[in-house]
Amino acid sequence: MSRPTIVLATRNPGKIREIRQVLTGLEVRIAALDEFGQVPEPAETGDTFAQNACEKAHYYAKATGQWCLADDSGLMVDALDGLPGVQSARYAAGECPPSAPRSVSDAANNRKLLAALADVAEENRTARFVCCLALSDGQRIRIQTFDTVEGRIGHAPRGENGFGYDPLFVVEGKGRTAAELPADEKNAVSHRGKALQHFARLLREIL
């Protein structure tokens, strides 16, 4: 019997790599979205991570005809009243074109965040990464998980192992940014890693 397929509703190579690392060992085939041609991206109109994750999961499940796992995640900075939040990936959209490589948009997002926090004292630079995962079979959400990791925003990027805001996010209790942590250590404590671990336990129950 062939293994069931779960499509990852993202073209972000960093997310794909982390998801596959945590889900290694499950009796499923993890497929990249690129295997299904140029499926247009849906508009992310939700006000919450959960709403966006569910919308993306349903959209891509219907588009591919496969079960689909969607991740919606981002950074919430206390001194910025929760921004960039659900707009994390598009925080600096006005400063780089939509076609810009992810590394360029990531760098622009980080520059904008540092500028916004330029006058914020160390003790007020607290933040958290948030991740919501949703698995759709095309008709309903079969699994939904949520997790966070606490930290603070550093004053300059550090580390080469992460993506997005990882080089700025100093993980609570680690003294290192998420981009300075080895993959196994990051996946054990990160918002996405913890949400994926919970997801894997629930998926085993329904397979």
pLDDT tens-digit map of 136-171: 999 999 999 999 999 999 999 999 988 999 999 999
- Comparing C-alpha atoms, which of 71, 18, 13, 52 is closest to residue 190? 18
Q: How far is CA 190 from CA 149, 162, 178, in A?
A: 6, 11, 8
Judge contact between 202 and 180, C-beta under 8 A: no
Taking the domains of the chain in order of start, what are their residue ranges? 5-206
pTM over 0.85: yes
Distance CA 114, CA 124 (A): 13
CA 41 to CA 24: how far, in whole Å? 27
- Percent of the chain scoring above 90 in pLDDT: 72
Peptide bond preceding 84: is omega within 30 degrees of 0, i.e. cis? yes
| H or E element, residue 126 | strand 126-136
Average pLDDT over residues 194-200: 94
Confidence bin at 40 (pLDDT 50/70/90): confident
Instruction: Please give the helix or strand (H or E) that residue 188 lies within, else none.
Output: helix 183-189
Among residues 47, 71, 72, 137, the one annotated as catalytic is 72
Fold classified for 5-206: Maf protein (3.90.950)
Active site residue 72: yes
